[in-house]
Amino acid sequence: MFKIHVIHAGNRHHYEEALEQHHRIRHDIYVGERKWMELERPDGREIDQFDTDKAVYLLGIEPGRGVVGGSRLVPTLGPNLMSDVFPELANVRGLPRAYDIFEWTRIFIIPAKRESGRLSQAAGIVYCGILEFCLSQHIRQLSVVCEDYWIPRLQALGWSPVRLGEAILKDDMSIVGITCDMTEEALAKTRSTYSIDDSVMAPEFVPNELLMLDFNSCQ
């Protein structure tokens, strides 16, 4: 199976090939599969205004195969999807903005790693990677723009999703804004759900190595 690699401004020069592959996979999935045609680009790379040097990519990389899954985290003290594109989704509780709250977007698993009729082990590894990273960096919450079916899914994993406002209808999808709590209990529940016993992080990831990012500089 694969491990989760943490890619950020300080080390992305070591991961140029993986990042390029991940942008092309995102295009295949979000444009080719999901038909989110507003994301279509002639170069076949899905990139938006939040793919900046502040973004942190958690990529599942399998030896001999490359990128097979992943996700993106963005500081909420800077530009992000909810604040800049969908602020109406937080019209009840307000936009979540804090140094220890990041926005979670662009999760994906390649088709070959999905498991029809059962929980995908690959998805479980990505979920656990998100939790492990957030706990190591003292990130207490994630904000998420997602379809409303994610709420019971994340509740079952112990992520304690909370809606921030009213849902909106976009391209026949019911979209909501939520926050999720990053806790040891959520990690334990997610590991148990996917039968994961140990850390899913790549050996080169050292807890607290990303303090060099200086999250406060995102203000």
Q: Over the stretch 176-206, which tens digit does the pLDDT of each residue have?
A: 999 999 999 999 999 999 999 999 999 877 6
- As a whole number of angstroms, the distance between CA 173 and CA 147 comes to 7
What are 105's two structure tokens?
């977007």
Query: Residue 109 above 60 pLDDT?
Result: yes
Residue range 12-33: mean pLDDT, rounded = 96
Residue 77 — very low, low, confident or very high, per pLDDT cuts 50/70/90?
very high
Per-residue pLDDT, 213:
52
> Where along the chain do its domains lie?
3-200
Question: Is pLDDT above 80 for 117?
Answer: no
Query: Are the C-beta atoms of 130 and 58 separated by less than 8 Å?
Result: yes
Sign of the Cα torsion 107, 109, 115, 120 reads negative
Higher pLDDT, 214 or 175: 175
Q: Which CATH architecture has domain 3-200?
A: 3-Layer(aba) Sandwich (3.40)
The pLDDT assigned to 167 comes to: 97
Q: What does the pLDDT look like over 125-156, one tens digit per residue?
A: 999 999 999 999 999 999 999 999 999 999 99
Q: Is the confidence at residue 219, as pLDDT, over 90? A: no
pLDDT of 218 strictly over 80: no
In the prediction, which pLDDT does 84 show? 97
Alpha-carbon distances, residue 159 vs 43, 184, 187 (angstroms) = 36, 10, 8
